[in-house]
Structure 1
């Protein structure tokens, strides 16, 4: 009986298991053979008849019928999937055998591999894919090495530049800061005052207040770096106001160390009224020259909705003199409001203080707001316009022609020709 069992196991291992390994049924058939052998042993135990013989032909029939059922189930699967899986298995076998096989292969490449007519063609195609994959890896590795070398060179160059410049830059920045602070400290004693009126918080939104503070920060930095800075006064400045909170956001610990005067008093309580001039675009009076003995007031307001007359009304209530910049006198102004930002006003006033040149000062007006500078005075332009109008109407033609020829001889000669 034991020899029969051994024979049965040899038959199963030699014939059935290789077939099952090719079709992915090794585990199921192993379990089937094991159950068959166990059932055989149980029957032998139950019968306990040593004279009874095992019919091997019957067991072969049973096992073949089971194999046919398993094979029929696997055949019912799509042919393409089974063929692709078989091709992948062959590729894995060739890779394990040490042949030139690519690590990653797509389905299209696998289909072309299956369509190869012979085994040598399949080997050549796989070798081609393997070499292509190696070239790509090599190019990628070279690019990464090149990038790493470039980054290392940049780091070394930046380190060398930093070591060369760090001492000089630190020395230069510290000395320049000392010089700027020294100038600002001198301006607090001897400089001309410039007042920023901080009483417009209620007329603005939160966004407009933040923009105002940003422009004031720029104005303070421009003033501190100038040759002859103003002594800046923030008047009508309330504690714990939105202005103060925004200034603390910008300056942080340096807010208490700024070389400016911050007070909640009005400028009329600090300076005499006859020296104060309120600069506003709504003023009917045009500023002709910069007066070093006067104290100019600028409203700390960013007016997005263009509320005209707010600063002018405030100056009139306080009984102060007002003035507007002569923009139309020196600039060919386009259509639009003549309101300028606070940092632009600071640039203009500093340039006027240093040079007294309106053309240089008004270069800080944005170019989008005007066409260019006026080359001739406005009075001469008005005279030429009057002459042209009189020539058109025909009144006093001879007299006008004589005057025109006297003023513009070249144009008169061209006209006669």
Structure 2
């Protein structure tokens, strides 16, 4: 076979090619010579292949396009996968090295970690994630501990059926309720009246009225449990008002059984004016002592809703005496308004009625509003201020210096030096 092909090639070169060169037919005959050399092989291949012809150029184009797409897909996916895997490996290495690395890292966090411009930025980002994870763990631990404590308390606490069935508790509650009700009933006959002015409904919003009623409920309960309770009067109280509806919500069926006096009349129509004193923070008159023969009036207002001078103007219109608590006299006032809640006023008045001690009474003022109690009396402080003023002005210098030397000998010696 090979020898036949070689002979055919020699014949073509010797005879056909020179003839084609002379007549300019080399380009047309060259593929013919190639076809002649491969004719025998093609015959064998055609016997094995099917009868249909195959377009090689189109097949090559299709194969090349498919290969390019597969290569692009396989090249892009492994790059991302390889970069994420490399980032995870670096995180594991840093964790083993003892750096602050979070335990669970999502793919988005890994991508942001990879996008960090520098190594220090990557460290800061990992530290932030680590601290965030620690805070979440601490919060979860605290919630679990709180839940365990609550369950323990529920297990240790006696069940309501047991407390109801306990005869001692039932007897104690009944006897105490009877004692409190007996005191309140006695106060309605022999007790000192205390008036709540219920004419400020238009001055407040619905939420402020609900807060006012809650404070009055607390003050009524503390008054009922005191040793010598007041006879509480709700004056200027209108039926089916917002006050009335809120009281029914809080007391429910007990509202009709309360041992208090509720009336639509004004306090000036019930009591003589010379015995009435309106307690307001805007009053220029400072209350010095608690008078058991007077009848004190408290405005049913919430601290947040108080407009300066509202209760004072009402007392002046009615021609009543006003008074304010001596907060500046006994307390070193720091911040906040000098307005107190209704239950605090009730506690102060009850302690003044029982003990007549201002320090004990003013302990019910919130401690966030004052620094402490005044150690020296106010008279001595005023004397020292007057002495300082006279020394500055030069009036009666010798007399003032003698008084100052008697009162403060150590300071006077230091001043002379």
How does the TM-score come out when normalised to structure 2? Answer: 0.61
Flag the 1:280–1:46 CA change in 2: closer, same or farther, 3 A: same
Deviation at 1:401, TM superposition (A): 2.6
Deviation at 1:176, TM superposition (A): 0.7
Flag the 1:49–1:23 CA change in 2: closer, same or farther, 3 A: same
Deviation at 1:358, TM superposition (A): 1.2
Partner Cα distance (1:173, 1:45) in 2: 114
Unmatched runs of 5 consecutive residues or more in structure 1: none
Flag the 1:242–1:20 CA change in 2: closer, same or farther, 3 A: farther
Maintained 8 Å contact 1:4/1:54: no
Q: Which moved more, 1:82-91 or 1:210-219?
A: 82-91
CA RMSD of aligned residues (A): 14.7
Q: CA offsets per residue over residues 169-215 of structure 1, 9 Å max, x none?
A: 22211111111011001111111110101010011111110110000
Partner Cα distance (1:219, 1:390) in 2: 48
Deviation at 1:132, TM superposition (A): 30
Deviation at 1:411, TM superposition (A): 3.5
Flag the 1:29–1:252 CA change in 2: closer, same or farther, 3 A: farther
After the TM superposition, which residues 367-382 of structure 1 pair with which residues of structure 2 at under 5 Å, given as runs? Answer: 367-382=367-382
Q: Which moved more, 1:309-318 or 1:160-169?
A: 160-169
Partner Cα distance (1:15, 1:251) in 2: 131
Maintained 8 Å contact 2:20/2:26: yes
Partner Cα distance (1:11, 1:134) in 2: 91
Maintained 8 Å contact 2:204/2:305: no
Q: Secondary structure at the match of 2:298?
A: strand
Flag the 1:296–1:55 CA change in 2: closer, same or farther, 3 A: closer
Flag the 1:29–1:390 CA change in 2: closer, same or farther, 3 A: farther
Maintained 8 Å contact 1:204/1:303: no
Maintained 8 Å contact 2:164/2:170: no
Partner Cα distance (2:260, 2:22) in 1: 91
Q: Which moved more, 1:143-152 or 1:37-46?
A: 37-46
Partner Cα distance (1:48, 1:315) in 2: 123
Deviation at 1:415, TM superposition (A): 4.9
Q: CA offsets per residue over residues 60-117 of structure 1, 9 Å max, x none?
A: 9999999999999999999999999999999999999999999999999999999999
Q: Which moved more, 1:94-103 or 1:360-369?
A: 94-103
Maintained 8 Å contact 2:192/2:231: yes
Maintained 8 Å contact 1:180/1:225: yes
Q: Secondary structure at the match of 1:158?
A: coil
How does the TM-score come out when normalised to structure 1? Answer: 0.61
Flag the 1:173–1:391 CA change in 2: closer, same or farther, 3 A: same
Q: CA offsets per residue over residues 207-262 of structure 1, 9 Å max, x none?
A: 11011000000010000000000000001100100001100110111111111111
| Number of corresponding residues | 417
Flag the 1:396–1:37 CA change in 2: closer, same or farther, 3 A: farther
Maintained 8 Å contact 2:303/2:341: no
Q: Which moved more, 1:338-347 or 1:49-58?
A: 49-58
Q: Secondary structure at the match of 1:45?
A: helix
Partner Cα distance (1:12, 1:296) in 2: 140
